[in-house]
A and B are shown apart, each in its own frame.
Chain A
Amino acid sequence: MLDQTQAQVAPSPLYICDAAQPRRRAAAIEDLATGLSRWRLPAALARLDIRNRYRGSVLGPFWLTLSTAVMVGGLGLLYSSLFKLPLADYLPFLAVSLIVWNMIAQIVADACISLTSAEGIIRQLALPYSVHITRCVMRNALIAAHSLPLILVVFLACGVLPGPEALLALPGLALVAVNAFAVALFLGMLCARFRDIAPIVASAMQLAFFLSPVLWKPELLGERQVWLPLNPFYVVMETVRGPLVEGGASALVWLSAVLYTALACAVAFAFFVRFRGRIAFWV
């Protein structure tokens, strides 16, 4: 009844798949375009993911908010005395750092299962693969939305409020979202093919946590600070953290963050173009 009306409006679709002329790039672009234009589906699936993950739990996703709050409080007390910084100065920095870092770490960990977790759907329904990637990004955006308001609470408690430049954190968040999509696409495919990648990524992220200025302020590096823009985690995090606690991020940080994002997108797209047809066999 419903599909019939569609069929009458549009001429009936022609599906061609020729191994001799794969038209890989066109197929990949079409996949991304259809997947993104049908955002309602991943949005619904992401909501279900959150609901099912916390089914029967009293606090639900607010457990993450609570554990982040406890971590910010505990680490704030410890490190402000280790670094000999006044708590009211250090705490806003640490709160923003930890919350943004947790968001990035969650995205990277979840990116590894963006396709394997949708195995049941991939093998049964012909859908654009970008639907599963968008689902992964949206699910993490929903989780992050439960912790981000904590930043405001800490700001109010410490009595420091950023100026209007804080709005620049929004393009920063958009940059994080674009990176999340690229990483979910790339790692999702890589981890579907090579099942050893996920544990490697997990240990790399732990190392990156200590090597990036999350707990410590970049100033502590002294002269070697100039090398920091080479750290992709630092620059992407700084586009959100800078506007909130340091009165804005430097132009160099933005440039580096945009370059890294473009690189991530290019690598993910190239990989997707080449191996899109194999995903159904990998998951």
Chain B
Amino acid sequence: MPYVSVQNLTIEFPLYHLGARSLKKRILARSPLRLRQDASNRVVVSALRELDFRIGPGERVALIGGNGAGKTTLLRTLAGIYQPVSGRLEVQGLIGALIDPAAGMDQESTGRENIILRGLFRGLDEATSESMAEEIGAFSGLGEFLDVPVRSYSAGMQVRLSFAIATVMEPEVLLMDEWFLAGDADFRQRAREKLERLVEHADILVLASHDMGVVREWCTRAIRLEAGRIVADGPVEAVLAA
């Protein structure tokens, strides 16, 4: 059964280009909370500090908190992009990450070429990726623009294409940033239906969001992060009320 288990997880970003000692001291003196010096005298930002939680199958978890609280860093860590400096992370299940819509998109290539490229990024072969092109083309509603370089797309068209490409998957653990609300009104409706289906099939949803309406609607549990720490964890209403 899919699950996510996080024990004592800490992520620190080293700031490498603070060479001058006096500058370092000044910066450290001014923000004693999240910037600190590690064992080898580097200045590090504690992005996530000693997180402990477990997500079981069927749970719909919202990560909430202000800007810089560590929501996206936590999503990226769960996706396997950042490795923790201490603590343990276990994710059982096929991970699908919708973090940056434009990741791996080549601006000079056509929509169709990008669909195939994204298939290769996910480890599929050309033929399988090619067969997705029609479905994605139809869903994104790009029509004849599918064979035009992506750089000539409008912002809305780019979002539609990346949304369509990113959501052709059936992950067991779905990690999602809140960007999916972009797009024009007509598309938003179809995007919702698609996401609902995706979320329904996934065993676990982890959603980072600022929008409490979205959180109430999609999630059953909320984890509030503040300065890289968990300050509240529980049913959505309880956490939002606190």
Identity of the chain B residue whose Cβ is nearest the Cβ of A1 in the assembled complex: B170
B94, B96, B97, B99 — most chain A CB neighbours (10 Å) = B94
Q: How many residues of A contact B (CB 8 A)?
A: 38
- Nearest Cβ on chain B to A23's Cβ, whole angstroms: 11
Q: Secondary structure of the A side of the interface?
A: helix
Contact A3 B99 (CB under 8 A): no
Q: Is A58 an interface residue (CB 8 A)?
A: no
Contact B90 A3 (CB under 8 A): no
Q: Is A13 an interface residue (CB 8 A)?
A: yes
Contact A48 B120 (CB under 8 A): no
Contact A19 B82 (CB under 8 A): no
Contact B171 A3 (CB under 8 A): yes
Q: Is A44 an interface residue (CB 8 A)?
A: yes
Q: Is B53 an interface residue (CB 8 A)?
A: no
Q: Secondary structure of the B side of the interface?
A: loop
Contact B106 A3 (CB under 8 A): no
Q: Using Cβ atoms and an 8 Å threshold, which residues of chain B touch A120?
A: 103
Q: Is B169 an interface residue (CB 8 A)?
A: yes
Contact A126 B79 (CB under 8 A): yes
Contact A7 B86 (CB under 8 A): no
Q: Is B67 an interface residue (CB 8 A)?
A: no
Contact A16 B89 (CB under 8 A): yes
CB < 8 Å A-B pair total: 110
Q: Is A280 an interface residue (CB 8 A)?
A: yes
A3-B169, A7-B170, A52-B108 as given contacts; A124 in contact with B99, CB under 8 Å: yes
Q: How many residues of B contact A (CB 8 A)?
A: 48
- Nearest Cβ on chain A to B104's Cβ, whole angstroms: 6
In-complex Cβ contact of B90 among A15, A51, A55 (8 A): A15
Q: Which of B125-133, B178-186, B211-219 contacts A (4 or more CB under 8 A)?
A: B125-133
Identity of the chain B residue whose Cβ is nearest the Cβ of A121 in the assembled complex: B104
A193 to B92, CA, bound (A): 32
Q: Using Cβ atoms and an 8 Å threshold, which residues of chain B touch A126?
A: 79-81, 95, 97
Q: Using Cβ atoms and an 8 Å threshold, which residues of chain A touch B220?
A: none
Contact A281 B104 (CB under 8 A): no
Identity of the chain B residue whose Cβ is nearest the Cβ of A38 in the assembled complex: B123
Q: Using Cβ atoms and an 8 Å threshold, which residues of chain B touch A280?
A: 81-83
Contact B87 A15 (CB under 8 A): no
- Nearest Cβ on chain A to B46's Cβ, whole angstroms: 13
Contact B123 A12 (CB under 8 A): no
Q: Is B76 an interface residue (CB 8 A)?
A: yes
In-complex Cβ contact of B120 among A12, A44, A124 (8 A): A44
- Nearest Cβ on chain A to B95's Cβ, whole angstroms: 7
Q: Which 5 A-B pairs have the closest CB atoms?
A: A124-B103, A277-B83, A126-B80, A18-B88, A41-B120
B-side residues, CB < 8 A to A, are: 2, 10, 13-14, 16, 76, 79-97, 99-100, 103-104, 106, 108-109, 116-117, 120-126, 128, 132, 168-172
